[in-house]
């Protein structure tokens, strides 16, 4: 494992965040989590483009080009000596005496590279449970910002109820998971929430969308309700760290047969092939 702070690589235990760091005080920054398989960062370009979108949305001027971030990330992976790892990259509006107004200072870039979080095998084999939770977040969830309090609270509630994920519901419709995108399957058709300001444009969602197309399956990007979820044949979530993960119960109610579905299983296999072929 290795850390990086504004131009230097550090030990992860080294204290490095100044008191007046705006990420720390305001959550005034954006981030990305990138999965590295066999030393290769998966869909890195897409992650960096989303980082750029997030930065522009909060009027944060990145001080490096996407090519430079790419080089930096590759250097960090090399230095970590890890093969399968998670890269966490965070850019904040920098260090300045606390004041809501933007300071005239350089942005801060920090990064960690750690062994990939591996999902216990039985969870992937058997699927996981989820709960419904009100989506209490702000209007701009397409920004991958450091402000994650509603996500954290929803995930913790799910955990305390013995569930893996909270499926968020805003104005009667499912938006996404607390840290994932949500898909349902009904009569062979796959549905997922359309992109809008209310959800994050997941990189795994993007990968799954392209797999669905090449497999000749049907994806409908359309809003769906809690009832649609409960009446579906399959539910699965997607994220960088969970990849494609079947949800087999929601609020204690069985989805379909209560076992991982055929489509989620197929998509997961194809996803593994996509990783191997990248």
- Contact footprint for ligand PMP (CB under 6 A): 33, 151, 176, 179-181, 200, 202-205, 238-240
- Which of 55, 255, 67, 94 is closest to 245 using CA atoms? 255
In the bound complex, what is the minimum distance in angstroms from residue 152's beta carbon to ligand PMP?
11
**Which CB, 46 or 228, lies closer to ligand PMP?**
46
**Which CB, 167 or 203, lies closer to ligand PMP?**
203
Cβ-proximal residues to 206 (8 Å cutoff; 6+ apart), any chain: 43, 46
In the block, which residue shows the tokens 């769906």?
224
Told to judge if 144 belongs to the known catalytic residues of this protein, a careful annotator would answer: yes
Which tokens belong to 14? 């080294």
**Which CB, 9 or 132, lies closer to ligand PMP?**
132
Count of helix runs (H) and strand runs (E) in the chain? 8, 15
Q: Using CA atoms in the order 69, 73, 76, 82, what is the torsion angle rounded to 10 degrees?
A: 180
In the bound complex, what is the minimum distance in angstroms from residue 32's beta carbon to ligand PMP?
8
**Which CB, 94 or 240, lies closer to ligand PMP?**
240
- Report the relative pairing of strands 243-250 and 128-134 from DSSP bridges: parallel
H helices within the chain, ranges in order? 22-26, 44-57, 66-80, 121-126, 149-160, 203-214, 226-230, 262-277
In the bound complex, what is the minimum distance in angstroms from residue 146's beta carbon to ligand PMP?
11
- Name the β-bridge partners of 37: 40
In the bound complex, what is the minimum distance in angstroms from residue 142's beta carbon to ligand PMP?
10
Determine contact, residues 132/169, Cβ cutoff 8 Å. Answer: yes
Q: Report the distance separating Cα 68 and Cα 21, nearest Å.
A: 23
Cβ-proximal residues to 74 (8 Å cutoff; 6+ apart), any chain: 41
In the bound complex, what is the minimum distance in angstroms from residue 266's beta carbon to ligand PMP?
19
Q: Report the distance separating Cα 256 and Cα 261, nearest Å.
A: 8
Catalytic residue among 79, 117, 144, 254: 144
Phi–psi pair at 269, nearest 5 degrees: -60, -45
In the bound complex, what is the minimum distance in angstroms from residue 106's beta carbon to ligand PMP?
26
The catalytic residues are: 144
């Amino acid at each position: 494992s290795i850390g990086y702070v504004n131009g230097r690589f550090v030990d992860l235990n080294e204290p490095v965040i100044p008191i007046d760091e705006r990420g720390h005080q305001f959550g005034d920054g954006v981030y990305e989590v990138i999965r590295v398989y066999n030393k290769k960062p998966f869909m890195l370009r897409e992650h960096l483009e989303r980082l750029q979108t997030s930065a522009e949305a909060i009027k944060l001027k990145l001080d490096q080009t996407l090519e430079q971030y790419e080089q930096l990330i590759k250097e960090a992976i090399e230095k970590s000596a890890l093969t399968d790892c998670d890269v966490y990259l965070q850019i904040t509006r920098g260090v300045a005496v606390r004041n809501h107004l933007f300071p005239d200072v350089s942005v801060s870039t920090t990064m960690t590279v750690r062994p990939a979080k591996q999902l216990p095998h039985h969870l992937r084999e058997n699927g996981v449970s989820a709960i419904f939770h009100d989506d209490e977040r702000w209007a701009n969830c397409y920004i991958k910002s450091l402000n994650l309090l509603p996500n954290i609270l929803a995930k913790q509630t799910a955990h305390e109820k013995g569930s893996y994920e909270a499926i968020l519901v805003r104005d009667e419709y499912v938006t996404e998971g607390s840290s994932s995108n949500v898909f349902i399957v009904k009569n062979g058709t796959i549905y997922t929430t359309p992109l809008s300001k209310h959800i994050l444009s997941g990189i795994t969602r993007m990968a799954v969308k392209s797999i669905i197309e090449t497999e000749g399956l049907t994806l409908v990007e359309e809003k769906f309700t809690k009832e649609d979820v409960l009446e579906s044949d399959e539910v699965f979530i997607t994220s960088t760290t969970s990849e494609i993960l079947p949800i087999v119960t929601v609020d204690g109610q069985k989805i379909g047969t209560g076992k991982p579905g055929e489509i989620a299983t197929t998509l997961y296999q194809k996803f593994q092939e996509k990783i191997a072929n990248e």
